[in-house]
Amino acid sequence: MSTLAGIRPLARPAARRRPDLAQLGPNWYAAVMGTAILANGAAVLPVRPPGLTGFGEVLWALALAALLVLAGARLVHLTRHREAARAQLLDNPATAVFYGCPPMALLSVGLGTMLLGSRVIGTGPAVALDAVLWSLGTVYALAVAGGIPYLMITRHRVSALEANPTWLLPVVAPLVASACGPALVPHLPAGTAQQAMLYGCWALFGVGLLATLVLLPVVFTGLFHSRLPALALTPTLFLVLGPLGQSVTAVHQLADAARPVLPALAPAMTDLAELYGVAVIGVAMLWLAVALAANLRARRAGMPFAMTWWAYTFPVGTCVTGASALARHTGFAGFSALAVGLYLLLASAWVLAAGGTAAGLARGRLLAR
């Protein structure tokens, strides 16, 4: 199996080729993540034009359907192509890091079920479905956050001098869990259950944030020393935005959930959320400018479509939710404008990634034998 199977640029085939599920890797869950974050961003935007909620509901339904289809396809992959699946995880570090995508897909669709799906299927079923998706996603996220670094230390042949932003994917998943969990707090029994959920989400926040702080210097060392090994990996520069935007979203969600559950700590949590959020969203916008410049340069150099283009979506989406939370907490119109601008960028990125994926599947350029 190719080191960058499913990530490599699409070569024009001489004839249409049959899809081969042996080529299906965990990176495909990025399409679910990108669609779900576009829906969730529509639900939390501080500006509410007509039709935005309905637009978000359609996207949530699309993300849920894509998750179910992909989960079924991966089940076939894991049962009928065991050697390929084993190689993806144990022998191929370039593919193994993408195991951070499945839990984030589960968590994002679960949150969308609470934010948007409850209007479609009812509050009770939405809470039940989100509880299942959040629980599965969180266990999966912790397994990946510990398991992939363990494999990189003990089995994979990797060098810090060749690190790239995809290394962040396994450790960002607990941050996503910490941002999605607070939505379930009001639906738990008052008292110990709510407190345990809230403290658990703070612990997940700590796991994801500290692991990111450890890995970021390694990633930048690799970028500065070896640069990206392939032009098609240039979109992964956007992945640096993921932990930044997601951590801003998480601290605000946790602060909101703490008000009725931990009233003594809630004011301090709110102050921390605002100060942390302003500082980190500023860093995120600086990196966004760097990533955009690098990708425009890569496009001029002829960068073709690859599944890595989905890296344009979820990381920018976390900045949308982070900026929206800042707008809600501070009341500052500048954050509202930033959230809207980022959402327009996210929507454009989603159209590019989804269009390229659909065309690649229709023409037999993706998952080809």
pLDDT in tens, 243-258: 999 999 999 999 999 9
Burial class (CB in 10 A: 0-12, 13-18, 19+), 275: exposed
Q: How confident is the model at residue 228 (pLDDT cuts 50, 70, 90)?
A: confident
With a cut of 70, say whether residue 48 has pLDDT above it. yes
Q: Residue written as tokens 């022998």?
A: 91
Q: Which of 113, 111, 112, 109 is nearest to 126 (CA)?
A: 113
With a cut of 90, say whether residue 60 has pLDDT above it. yes
Q: Residue written as tokens 């989100």?
A: 130
Mean pLDDT of the chain: 92
What span, in angstroms and rounded, lies between the C-alpha atoms of 163 and 216?
Answer: 10
DSSP code per residue over 177-198: HHHHGGGGGGGSPTTHHHHHHH
With a cut of 60, say whether residue 57 has pLDDT above it. yes
DSSP code per residue over 101-158: HHHHHHHHHHHHIIIIIHHHH-HHHHHHHHHHHHHHHHHHHHHHHHHHHHHHHHT---
Q: Residue written as tokens 């119109």?
A: 333
Burial class (CB in 10 A: 0-12, 13-18, 19+), 357: buried
More confident residue, 77 or 38: 38
Q: How confident is the model at residue 19 (pLDDT cuts 50, 70, 90)?
A: low
Q: Which of 223, 263, 264 is nearest to 240 (CA)?
A: 223
In tens, the pLDDT along 67-107 reads 999 999 999 988 888 888 888 899 899 999 999 999 999 99
CATH homologous superfamily of 21-360 equals Voltage-dependent anion channel (1.50.10.150)
With a cut of 50, say whether residue 115 has pLDDT above it. yes
With a cut of 70, say whether residue 9 has pLDDT above it. no
Residue 310 corresponds to which amino acid? W
